[in-house]
Amino acid sequence: MGVITLYHGSPNKVVIPQYGCGDDKHDYGRGFYLTDDIELAKEWAVCRPDEKNGWVHKYELECDELKILDFKEYNVLAWLAELMKHRDAADSKRYRMLAEKFIAKYGKDTDEYDVIKGWRADASYFYIAKEFVRDNIDIDILEELLLLGGLGTQYCVKSERAYSRLHEITGELLSTEYAEFNDRYNKRDVEARKNMRDLVNSDANTVTNVFSTLLER
């Protein structure tokens, strides 16, 4: 795979990726998150409603000898199970009981991997997860729903070995204007939500193969 170029959008001009840091409740747990799409990184740099300009940091990741788990190579249910490990899609007792069974059946053991690659579960994507666990979305349209967000792919650097192979190109730090790219972020989210609702409410969503029935197979 060689060396790949990745970007990290942040409100901070100085960012120092450190092994062991990060939020356990993020999509793939604790780690340092990046994207291969510079335009999306610009949006993520200013996605907070604080009206402050952000920064896009450019990195190179040496992938040789790294174990990379790509959720797009697996059934979409594996990605959803990983999301459930770290983020609660509902607070009901029913959800907690079913989520545990769902993770046991469809989840992947990610402990041995250096990097995790897959979709980014922003607010619009999390709407999908919530509706799915409420049995309102059929598995047959689940992957199509994920593609409607247009959020590309995110990479999560997990292991100490991966951190040691991640290098910032400091001379290419890019300032990102809040007004332009926060507006893009919000428009993308509004459009994604509309498209998702339209598909969920369409005849394509037969609500036959749903969250609870998957556990009966």
Domain map (residue ranges) of the chain: 3-214
The runs of H, that is alpha helices, within 37-177 are 38-45, 76-86, 93-106, 123-133, 142-148, 160-164
Query: What's the pLDDT band for 146 if we cut at 50, 70, 90?
Result: confident
What is the structure's pLDDT at 91? 65
Enter the tokens of residue 49: 């409603």
With 0-12 CB in 10 A as exposed, 13-18 as middle and 19+ as buried, what is 71?
A: buried
User: What confidence tens digit (pLDDT) does each residue in 170-197 have?
Assistant: 999 999 999 999 999 889 888 888 888 8
3-class SS of residue 153: coil
Of the pLDDT bands very low, low, confident and very high (cuts 50, 70, 90), residue 101 is confident
The stretch 47-76 carries a mean pLDDT of 93
Digit-coded pLDDT (tens) for 18-53:
998 888 778 888 999 999 999 999 999 998 888 899
Most trustworthy range by pLDDT among 15-19, 25-29, 87-91, 131-135: 15-19
Q: Is 102 exposed, middle or buried (0-12, 13-18, 19+ CB in 10 A)?
A: buried
Share of the chain above pLDDT 90, in %: 55
- Is residue 58 very low, low, confident or very high in pLDDT (cuts 50, 70, 90)? very high
Q: Which helix (H) or strand (E) holds 193?
A: helix 178-200
The predicted structure's pLDDT at residue 65: 92
189, 196 contact by CB (below 8 A): no
Minimal CA–CA distance to 32: which of 124, 169, 159? Answer: 159
* Secondary element (H or E) of residue 213: helix 211-214
More confident residue, 211 or 166: 166
Calculated CA dihedral for residues 14, 11, 145, 154, nearest 10 degrees: 0
Higher pLDDT, 215 or 201: 201
Check: CB of residue 87 under 8 Å from CB of residue 123.
no
Q: Is 201 exposed, middle or buried (0-12, 13-18, 19+ CB in 10 A)?
A: exposed
What is the reported pLDDT for 130?
Answer: 77
Q: What band does 93 get if pLDDT is binned at 50, 70 and 90?
A: confident
